[in-house]
């Protein structure tokens, strides 16, 4: 249906099939040899490779070889690499921790949720490198969503504001995690220490950030905000926590006053 430059493109995947793949469907008995592989095996192997060597190391050949089969055999289970990745994304999200008791405040429950999401992205950094294809529809994705919505409901947010808030929070976490991971891997690949990286970045800023062109940034640079801190980690999680606290404060006052 979709034509690009006169050439045929693969049809957009049948949404029904996509969901079957994501949620796993019971296949009725059919003739033919029994499958020796499973989608789960393939996905697990692919995730293993991605965890260890990054998403760019995941190719159909590589996954198949790792499993001891031919490249094409995978296509009996997965219609395309794109859809394999889609399933990988959901599976990598594991399951969020169980709801837990209602004893803790909604604030700390949400803080834990954020920490959980953050930790998950650090466990599977490649997840952040995969371009988003649409609204989340896998079971684990939805589970995380659900887990995040719960404390917000307890906080007293209205139905219409729930999605906005959770998407906003999730977005901030994802982007900060992505930045953190990318800086970390860039550092590792260059074989440089944290202090050196920061020093290098600081030097860049010193060189190019003139006070006329970037007044505020220049002030910060000379104030030493980007100077090497000596901390072992880059501490973007601290930045995240700060932002989350502001949001939580904002929600609290919003619920109390009811003002937009």
Using CB under 7 A, which residues numbered 93 to 112 contact DNA? none
Q: Which stretch binds a second copy (CB under 8 A): 26-34, 36-44, 102-110, 165-173?
A: 165-173
Q: Is the separation of the CB atoms in 228 and 199 below 8 Å?
A: yes
Using CB under 7 A, which residues numbered 18 to 47 contact DNA? 29-37
Position among 72, 119, 153, 231 found at the interface with a second copy (CB under 8 A):
153
Q: Is the separation of the CB atoms in 118 and 173 below 8 Å?
A: yes
Q: Is the separation of the CB atoms in 58 and 43 below 8 Å?
A: no
Nearer to a second copy by C-beta: 46 or 173?
173
Nearer to DNA by C-beta: 80 or 210?
80
| Closest separation in Å from C-beta 14 to DNA | 14
Token pair belonging to 139: 């079971």
Nearer to DNA by C-beta: 32 or 230?
32
Q: What is the DSSP string of 50-101?
A: HHHH-GGG--HHHHHHHHTS-GGGGGGT-S-HHHHHHHHHHHHT--PPP---
Q: Is the separation of the CB atoms in 173 and 121 below 8 Å?
A: yes
Measured CA to CA, the distance from residue 91 to residue 81 in angstroms comes to: 15
Choose among DNA, a second copy, none what residue 170 binds, the Cβ cut-off being 5 to 8 Å by kind.
a second copy
Using CB under 7 A, which residues numbered 74 to 93 contact DNA? 75-77, 80-82
> Where does this chain bind DNA (CB under 7 A)?
7, 10, 29-37, 58-62, 69-73, 75-77, 80-82
């Amino acid at each position: 249906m979709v034509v690009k430059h006169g050439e045929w493109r693969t049809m957009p995947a049948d949404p029904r099939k996509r969901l079957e793949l994501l949620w796993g469907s019971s296949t009725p008995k059919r003739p033919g040899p029994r499958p020796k592989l499973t989608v789960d095996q393939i996905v697990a192997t692919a995730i293993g490779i991605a965890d260890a060597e990054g998403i760019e190391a995941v190719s159909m050949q590589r996954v198949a070889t790792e499993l001891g089969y031919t490249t094409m055999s995978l296509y009996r289970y997965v219609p395309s690499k794109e859809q394999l990745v889609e399933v990988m994304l959901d599976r990598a999200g594991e399951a969020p921790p169980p709801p837990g008791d209602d004893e803790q405040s909604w604030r700390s429950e949400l803080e834990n949720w954020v920490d959980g999401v953050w930790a998950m992205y650090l466990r599977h950094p490649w997840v952040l490198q995969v371009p988003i294809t649409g609204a989340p529809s896998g079971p684990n994705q939805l589970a995380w969503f659900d887990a995040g919505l719960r404390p917000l409901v307890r906080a007293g947010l209205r139905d219409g504001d729930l999605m906005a808030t959770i998407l906003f929070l999730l977005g901030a976490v994802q982007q900060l995690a992505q930045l953190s991971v990318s800086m970390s891997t860039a550092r590792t690949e260059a074989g440089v220490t944290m202090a050196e990286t920061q020093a290098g970045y600081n030097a860049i800023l010193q060189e190019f950030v003139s006070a006329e062109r970037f007044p505020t940034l220049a002030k910060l640079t000379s104030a030493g905000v980007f100077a090497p801190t000596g901390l072992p980690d880059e501490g973007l999680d601290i930045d995240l926590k700060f932002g989350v606290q502001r949001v939580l404060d904002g929600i609290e006052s919003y619920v109390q006053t009811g003002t937009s």
